[in-house]
Amino acid sequence: MGNSSNQTSLGYGGDNFDISDKTMAPHRRITGQVLTILTMVFAASVVVPLIWVLVSVFQKGVGSLVFPDIFTELPPPPGLSDGGFGHAIIGTLMTLGVGTAISVPFGVIAAIYLAEFGRGTKLAYLVKFSCNVLTGVPAILCGLFAYSIVVQPLGSFSAFSGGVALAVLMLPIIIRSTEEALLLVPNELRLAATGLGATRFETVIQIVLPAALTSIVTGVVLSVARASGEAAPLLFTSFNNNFWAANVWEPVSTLPVLIYFFSIIPYKASQSLAWAAALVLLSIVLLFSIVSRYFSRKRIV
């Protein structure tokens, strides 16, 4: 009894295990400290490059943004310093708008089938497998796909074809995020709606979708942020345009493509404009990320 406060033995099949044995405690403590340090190092390896990029782009691009005309004027001829990239902002919004309008309906409907109607079916497995493959497809291949099915038949580059290429990039993100959002909705809501006489379709449309709306919006915003910085697919689809364009069936300039072209021009004025456009594009991506974080904090139901 005198040692009962210091030792506790548990018997399992005739064997005694001394819980108060301290022989392994130093090794576990050292292992925990080493793993903690490694975790901090790996976390810093992700954060430090991001901060480096933000600071570099800000330092080199903020000087050109002090002039409001940069958002309302067309780019200057090579070698001149006056001008802007307002047309590229409009073109970026046009292509993103077309891509969102195409990908959101298809993505949400596919996710509803996966989560509510097609669980365990071979078609659902094929759709999930296709989403996983499409997630890892290089963006330039999406541009080639849109070029073959839109640009070649129409005979010209356009904002619409650029939106199709971006929609292919956005689609798997929307499908997977929407599916996860629908699966997080408690099943009791479905049972309650069915008990009140609602059909399965009415339950999904009137109960499940509104309950998961915030998470669905989060997935859509993340997909837009993912597509907004892509230049490779737009080179094959919307291409470029140094003039104002308000027609989705015409070539348009976008911020990623403008950054690409102006960064390789051997004139400091054009390169400064490219840095300013990079800062604007980075701000747009950060804004989308902040909005997605805001919606992700809202609870489902």
Residue-averaged pLDDT of the chain: 85
Tokens found for residue 255: 């911020």
Tokens for 136, please give them. Answer: 């890892």
Distance CA 115, CA 127 (A): 12
State yes or no: pLDDT of 300 exceeds 60.
Answer: no
* Domains of the chain, residue spans: 89-296
Q: Identify the pLDDT of residue 256.
A: 93
Round to whole Å and give the CA distance between 292 and 287. Answer: 9
In terms of pLDDT, which residue wins out, 299 or 266? 266
- Could you tell me which residues come within 8 angstroms of residue 119 by beta carbon, excluding any fewer than 6 positions away? none
Q: In the CATH hierarchy, which fold is given to the domain comprising 89-296?
A: MetI-like fold (1.10.3720)
For residues 142-151, give the mean pLDDT.
93
Residue predicted with more confidence, 25 or 156: 156
Angstrom distance (rounded) from CA 189 to CA 11? 47
Residue 259 class from Cβ within 10 Å (0-12 exposed, 13-18 middle, 19+ buried)? buried
Please determine, for residue 237, whether its predicted confidence score (pLDDT) is greater than 90.
yes
pLDDT tens for each residue of 55-112? 999 998 888 887 778 888 888 777 666 788 989 999 999 999 999 999 999 999 999 9
- Among residues 110, 104, 221, the alpha carbon closest in space to that of 167 is found at 104
- pLDDT tens for 249-298 read 999 999 999 999 988 888 888 888 899 999 999 998 888 888 877 776 76
Residue 41 has pLDDT above 60, yes or no: yes
Looking at residues 30-55, what average pLDDT do you find? 89
Q: Write down the pTM of the prediction.
A: 0.80
Residue 50: is its pLDDT beyond 60? yes
Q: What is the pLDDT of residue 46?
A: 85
Which of 72-76, 202-206, 216-220, 296-300 is predicted least confidently? 296-300
